[in-house]
Amino acid sequence: MRRKIEKSDAEWRAQLTPEQYHVTREKGTERPFSGDHRVTDEHGIYHCVCCNAPLFENEHKFDAGCGWPSFDRPLVSGCVEEHPDTTQGMQRTEVTCARCNAHLGHVFPDGPAETTGLRYCINSVAIQFHAGE
Ligand SMILES: [Zn+2]
């Protein structure tokens, strides 16, 4: 397991835009349909906006109709971590970057039944698309 990246709040604030900081370091949520939720057939990998770790593959993205980018699995097992989240009166599972603890979104058990059955519902400001990878 790779060493965790740890930075101070001031370092993250200097590196990230205010919206990226709010979502990834303060567990915020972007407005639905505000980001890169559309499905394309382009090859590429989504990386963590904080530490550049590769996290999701465009081929695993699907249209969940929820307004956030949705994937049926992470790029490799262990590149994201999952934590129980009972905030806002809901039972959810939070998804974070395994390398830098960035908050990415949540995983729900209502994904496509023909593949994993999981929906990784991710804030698009938390990930950056690298085409052609
Ligand atoms: Zn990261």
Give the pLDDT confidence score for residue 36 in this predicted structure: 87
pLDDT tens digits along 74-94: 999 999 999 999 998 999 999
Burial 53-92 (b: 16+ CB within 10 A, else e): bbbbbbebbeebeeebbbbbbbbeeebbeeeeeeeeeeeb
DSSP letters spanning 89-116: G--EEEEEETTT--EEEEEES-S-TTTT
Q: Which domain covers residue 16, as residue numbers?
A: 9-131
Give the pLDDT confidence score for residue 1 in this predicted structure: 52
Q: How many structural domains comprise the chain?
A: 1
Q: Which of 50, 66, 79, 121 is catalytic?
A: 121
Residue 112 Cα to ligand 1 midpoint, Å, equals: 26
How far are the Cα atoms of 7, 50, 75, 127 from residue 11, in angstroms, in the given order? 6, 11, 27, 18
pLDDT tens digits along 25-62: 999 999 999 998 889 999 999 999 999 999 999 999 99
pLDDT tens digits along 114-126: 999 999 999 999 9
Question: Do residues 35 and 125 lie in contact, with contact meaning Cβ atoms separated by under 8 Å?
Answer: yes
Is residue 3 pLDDT above 80, yes or no?
Answer: no
- Flag whether 23 is in a domain: yes
- Flag whether 107 is in a domain: yes
- Flag whether 108 is in a domain: yes
Is residue 16 pLDDT above 90, yes or no?
Answer: yes
- Flag whether 67 is in a domain: yes
51 marked as binding residue: yes
Is residue 21 pLDDT above 70, yes or no?
Answer: yes
Q: What is the CATH number of the domain that holds 65?
A: 2.170.150.20
66 marked as binding residue: no
Give the pLDDT confidence score for residue 2 in this predicted structure: 63
- Flag whether 4 is in a domain: no
Question: Do residues 98 and 49 lie in contact, with contact meaning Cβ atoms separated by under 8 Å?
Answer: no
Collapse the DSSP code of 54 into the 3-class scheme (helix H, G, I; strand E, B; otherwise coil) and give the result.
strand
48 marked as binding residue: yes
Residue 82 Cα to ligand 1 midpoint, Å, equals: 14
What's the pLDDT band for 15 if we cut at 50, 70, 90? very high
Residue 118 Cα to ligand 1 midpoint, Å, equals: 21
- Flag whether 48 is in a domain: yes
- Flag whether 1 is in a domain: no
Give the pLDDT confidence score for residue 34 in this predicted structure: 94
Residue 64 Cα to ligand 1 midpoint, Å, equals: 24
- Flag whether 3 is in a domain: no
Give the residue-averaged pLDDT of 59-80: 96
Per the annotation, the verdict on 66 as an active-site residue is: no
